[in-house]
Amino acid sequence: MDVIDRLAEGVRRFRTEIFPRRRGLFARLAATQEPSALFLTCADSRIVPALITHSGPGELFIERNPGNIVPVYSEETVGVSASIEYAVTTLGTRHIVICGHSDCGAVKGIFKPDKVAHMPAMARWLKHGAEARQRLRCEGLEEEAQLRALTELNVRVQMENLLTHPCVRAGLAEGSLSVHGWVYDIETGSVVAHDAVSDRFLPFPAS
């Protein structure tokens, strides 16, 4: 069975087995959506937001791109900004989660830009992560530890970039919006979340 045949079989099973059991939910979702969170994460195929958070249809508004990047707000870079603006302004989403992950190819490209030099579009995109690389202070550590630190630092920088978006600033000022930073470990399934008090990433949920 090739890839398209396997996808077709998945669609068939959804239509005949899953959809009928949740017909009422999909009927409600056909007319409206009220996601409780904007989940902004990497495009990596191993990251499945609904699976990680045990969320159902309509619960998460998802934006994905290489490196879970949030460019500083401008009138030129509109893709991610449009998702943020729509989620916050139109859908009334009250939480934004920026979720990085282990073994991220984009973070590796931020760490060593020469590795993506042959992909000009990717190289341009990852310049939005250059601030994280510039702040990295992990000399003497193994590369794996440096990449882990850069993954967390990239999430923190993208959280800061969120604050340049007018709708986010307004929501935070009004107390109607919260911003969260997570890092998901693919191998262990664990999540750490940024703690504003200690400025560290701590196990989430707290034990």
pLDDT digits (tens, 9 = 90+) for 24-57: 999 999 999 999 999 999 999 999 999 999 999 9
Neighbouring C-beta atoms of residue 202, cutoff 10 Å: 13
Q: Which residues contact 200 (CB under 8 A, 6 or more apart)?
A: 194
Give the Cα-Cα-Cα angle 46, 61, 77 (nearest 5 degrees).
90
CATH number for the domain formed by residue range(s) 33-204: 3.40.1050.10
pLDDT band at 122 (very low <50, low <70, confident <90, very high): very high
- pLDDT higher than threshold 90 for residue 206: no
Q: What tens digit of pLDDT does each residue of 165-186 get?
A: 999 999 999 999 999 999 999 9
Residue 64: pLDDT band (50, 70, 90) is very high
Q: What's the mean pLDDT when you consider all of the chain?
A: 96
pLDDT at 77 over 80: no
Span 111-122, average pLDDT: 96
pLDDT of 200 higher than 90:
yes
**pLDDT confidence of residue 99:** 98
pTM over 0.85: yes
Element (H, E) at 38: strand 37-41
What is the tens place of the pLDDT at every residue in 123-160? 999 999 999 999 998 777 899 999 999 999 999 999 99
At 53, list the tokens.
Answer: 């958070």
Query: What type of residue is 206?
Result: A
Amino acid at 124: R
Q: What's the farthest any 2 CA atoms get from each other in the chain?
A: 57
- Give dist(CA 130, CA 186) in Å, integer: 24
Q: What percent of the chain has pLDDT over 70?
A: 100
Tell me: pLDDT of 163 over 90.
yes
Contacts 24+ apart (CB under 8 A), 10-15: none
pLDDT at 61: 98
**Kind and range of the H or E element at 60?**
strand 60-64
Q: Residue 182: what pLDDT?
A: 98
Cis peptide before 205 (omega within 30 of 0): yes
> Distance between CA 97 and CA 38 in Å, rounded?
6
**106 CB contacts (<8 Å, ≥6 apart)?**
42, 66, 67, 68, 69, 122, 126, 129
What CA–CA distances, in Å, run from 41 to 22, 24, 182?
27, 29, 9
| pLDDT for residue 75 | 83
Res 192: pLDDT = 98
Residues of the chain with CATH 3.40.1050.10: 33-204
Residue 65: its pLDDT value, please? 98
Q: What is the pLDDT of residue 56?
A: 96
